[in-house]
Amino acid sequence: MDFQIKASDLEQAHERIKPHIHRTPILTSESINAIAGCELYFKCENFQKIGAFKARGGLNAVMCLPEDERQKGVVTHSSGNHAQAVSLAAKMCGIPAYIVMPETAPEVKKKAVKGYGAQITLCKPTIEARQENAHRIQQETGAFLVSPYNDNNVIAGQGTAAIELLEDTDHLDAMITPVGGGGLLAGTALAAHYYSPETKVFAGEPDGAKDTYLSMKAGEMVTVPNPSTIADGLLASMGDKNFAIIRELVEDVFVVNDEEIIAAMRLIWERMKIIIEPSCAVPMAALLKNKEVFAGQKVGVILSGGNVDLGKLPF
Amino acid sequence: MDFQIKASDLEQAHERIKPHIHRTPILTSESINAIAGCELYFKCENFQKIGAFKARGGLNAVMCLPEDERQKGVVTHSSGNHAQAVSLAAKMCGIPAYIVMPETAPEVKKKAVKGYGAQITLCKPTIEARQENAHRIQQETGAFLVSPYNDNNVIAGQGTAAIELLEDTDHLDAMITPVGGGGLLAGTALAAHYYSPETKVFAGEPDGAKDTYLSMKAGEMVTVPNPSTIADGLLASMGDKNFAIIRELVEDVFVVNDEEIIAAMRLIWERMKIIIEPSCAVPMAALLKNKEVFAGQKVGVILSGGNVDLGKLPF
């Protein structure tokens, strides 16, 4: 199988963004290993700039723009981590960023985006309103629209977390990530494919937004109308560029419900003393629900992010 | 000045406990540096076994017991991290542990102590009831009473966190710890004295339990009746062995109130995505309140622990 994103694309993405991101630590926990019945290596992207792996893809996508295109700026619509990633990347490149956010986005996220000097346009909290506004701004300014996941440069950027995880561990039997739009999962699957083909790649997905699970079963892209889950970073439907990679390279997608996500989130908070957001707890919940698949194995877990509203915790 | 605890005692303590503890990471945060106006190196003892630095002192004290004394077991009174430290040490040495805890201790802490196989005796939440019960058990069983702080082996064990912090950084201008009973502060001061005498040692102390601050001012040990603070790990009064070291080697003790402690705790949770307990936030609060003292300096901050009841957060 031949993929549009080559090993060299992943390597160049890594070289490009490396000076601007953190090489996040890999933590382990004996007590969680005992509970899970396997050996877990947690790649802490919750400690990444902007508090999530999305800094990688956003930065790579913006830095890949040719100099003349770049000057017109970048635009995206996002209520969350991608908005911050694009804002940070634009700030680093000294170009304007236009961010469309739903009026309902948490104040703390609006503040963070403003903190990077981006211009915010608020809109109704529907996917149509978000897309319309982003499109209008794109027309008016000539800014480049940075997709949160359905973009080869974004996918290559997200794959750099798995490159580091593979470099900093000895022979992993498996890696597992959450899946929403599929950027992190596709990037991770490509990294394993090129650098450690014996490492199987899995994903965890919330029951209330299980379009990847259903798509894998159906062998074609399926969408879930009105997705709903506490894992608010995983509401997006998978992109077609992502699916082309995921369907070929991902071993399995495990579905978990909100209760299981909250329990896994609490376990990691209590045992590891680190803060992860609900979306980030999804792979841990999947591991605990499918212990027999991973029994005795060495498993890399990508902890995707730690941006939670401390005033609204689920426990 | 000649101290009872020599450099060789610190070194032997480190050699002794090293195989049984985590060498905890040192984290940095650009955004917190910008807020504090100095360069901070956080030694993450919240990631230590039992979730706090106390594993070091407890382990060293128990391992220092002669083989025949050891077999009768160990006893202590503590509502928190020291109870877990002694329980863990006893479990590792295969000897009984008797822990006196106030009835009011959080369920999660009782559970953790039981998890290490220790025997719990509940008592009224007064220091007298705790001491009486521990003394009675000591008489009945012949177990060795492990003081939480007023013990040279405990102090030497706590000092090993600062040894690692000094080894893993380049020339710190200062180190800062919280102070309750004074084990961590005294151990840190000795480590600086022997290995990096140009590094000044400071402490943060809660306003509601500022006996160390008052003792330093008075030049003799002063106690605070009915201490009260959200930093529940720092309620203890300083020990005399601790004071003998602290009065000679500690540069200054800064007092902070509960509001400042909560704000510092939240700052570290939000910016660093790590979980610290209120007591652990006291040095950060002290740094923010005394920026002029540390302006532009390289400061090592010992993050003492991360054991919080997630159901009862102050924000």
Domain boundaries, chain A: 7-52+151-312, 55-145
DSSP class per residue in A72-109: T-EEEE-SSHHHHHHHHHHHHHT--EEEEEETTS-HHH
Output the six-digit token pair for B42.
């956080």
Considering the segment(s) B55-145 as one domain, its CATH architecture is: 3-Layer(aba) Sandwich (3.40)
Residue B106: pLDDT band with limits 50, 70, 90 = confident
Nearest-by-Cβ selection for B310 from A47, A51, A269: A269
- Is the per-residue pLDDT at B58 higher than 80? yes
Is B315 in contact with A311 (Cβ distance < 8 A)? yes
Task: Identify which of A219, A217, A233 has the alpha carbon closest to the alpha carbon of residue A283.
Answer: A233
pLDDT value of residue B70: 92
Q: Are A49 and A22 in contact (CB under 8 A)?
A: yes
- Mean pLDDT of all residues in chain B? 96
Res B1 pLDDT > 80: no
What percent of chain B is predicted at pLDDT more than 70? 100
Quote ipTM for the complex. Answer: 0.92
Judged against a pLDDT cut of 90, whether residue B63 lies above it is answered with: yes
- Cβ atoms of A160 and A9 within 8 Å: the answer is no
Sign of CA dihedral B118, B124, B129, B133: negative
At A311 the pLDDT is 85
Q: How far apart are the CA of A24 and the nearest CA of chain B, in angstroms?
A: 10
A293 to chain B nearest CA, in Å?
Answer: 28
Measured in angstroms, the CA of A49 and the nearest CA of chain B are apart by 10
Q: What pLDDT is attached to residue B107?
A: 81
Q: Write down the pLDDT at residue A312.
A: 86
A55-145 matches A7-52+151-312 in CATH topology: yes
Domain B7-52+151-312 has CATH 3.30.379.10: no
> The whole model's pTM is what?
0.94
Cα–Cα distances (Å) from A234 to A170, A181, A220, A250, in that order, read: 30, 7, 19, 17
Do B46 and A269 lie within an 8 Å CB cutoff? no
Tens-digit pLDDT profile for residues B248-290: 999 999 999 999 999 999 999 999 999 999 999 999 999 999 9
Contact between chains at B269 and A276 (C-beta distance less than 8 A): no
- Four-residue CA torsion sign, A10, A12, A13, A18: positive
Q: SS3 letters for chain B?
A: CCCCCCHHHHHHHHHHHHHHCCCCCEECCHHHHHHHCCEEEEEEHHHCHHHECHHHHHHHHHHHCCHHHHCCCEEEECCCHHHHHHHHHHHHHCCCEEEEEECCCCHHHHHHHHHCCCEEEEECCCHHHHHHHHHHHHHHHCCEECCCCCCHHHHHHHHHHHHHHHHCCCCCCEEEEECCCCHHHHHHHHHHHHHCCCCEEEEEEEHHHCHHHHHHHHCCCCCCCCCCCCCHHHCCCCCHHHHHHHHHHEEEEEEECHHHHHHHHHHHHHHHCECCCHHHHHHHHHHHHCHHHHCCCEEEEEECECCCCHHHCCC
Q: Which of A59-68, A73-82, B139-148, B187-196 has the lowest mean pLDDT?
A: A73-82
Residues in chain A with pLDDT values less than 50: none
Which stretches of chain B sit within 8 Å of chain A by CB? 25, 27, 46-47, 51, 108, 266, 269-270, 272-276, 306, 310-311, 313, 315
The pair of three-digit structure tokens given for residue A175, joined into one six-digit string: 């890696």
Average pLDDT over residues B198-216: 98
Residue with tokens 């863990």: B88
Beta pairing, strands A298-303 & B26-27: unpaired
Q: Which of B42, B88, B273 to mutate to test the interface with A (most CBs of A within 10 A)?
A: B273
Nearest-neighbour CA in chain A from B272: distance (Å) = 7
